[in-house]
Amino acid sequence: MHDCILHNQRCGKSRGALEMVTQRRPDIRVVDYLSTPPSVDELEEFCRQGGLSAKDLIRPGEPRFAELGLSLSDVRDDRAWLQLVHDNPILMQRPIVRIDGRVVVARPSERVLELFG
């Protein structure tokens, strides 16, 4: 994936970030990650480019996280956490934005502006 936003239309923060990004990059690739989840390798690349850990991509407050009986203190390597996110994309923090090889989890939405500074 090149410049893109991993987007969830139902999320207000994701919609806000998308609006800010498209004002500056109208051609940004918008990926509905719920229907097209990134691969584990792509998630690893997002982490590397954003200086993030695998756990930084997880929404532990998401009901699915509890349904799976998970805790962020569970002992798993990064790849196992990323596989979990790939298999259950609803668990992914949103939105994730990549511009020019730099990545942020745009929570709050204004964090996308860091990519344009």
- Extents of the domains making up the chain: 4-116
The tens place of each residue's pLDDT in the chain, 117 residues long, gives 589 999 999 999 999 999 999 999 999 999 999 999 999 999 999 999 999 999 999 999 999 999 999 999 987 899 999 999 999 999 999 999 999 999 999 999 999 999 997
CA distance 15 to 32: 12
Active site annotation includes 11:
yes
Note the pLDDT of residue 1. 56
Question: For 4-116, which CATH superfamily applies?
Answer: Glutaredoxin (3.40.30.10)
From 3, 11, 56, 113, active-site residue:
11
The CA distance from 64 to 42, in Å, is 22
Whole-model pTM?
A: 0.91
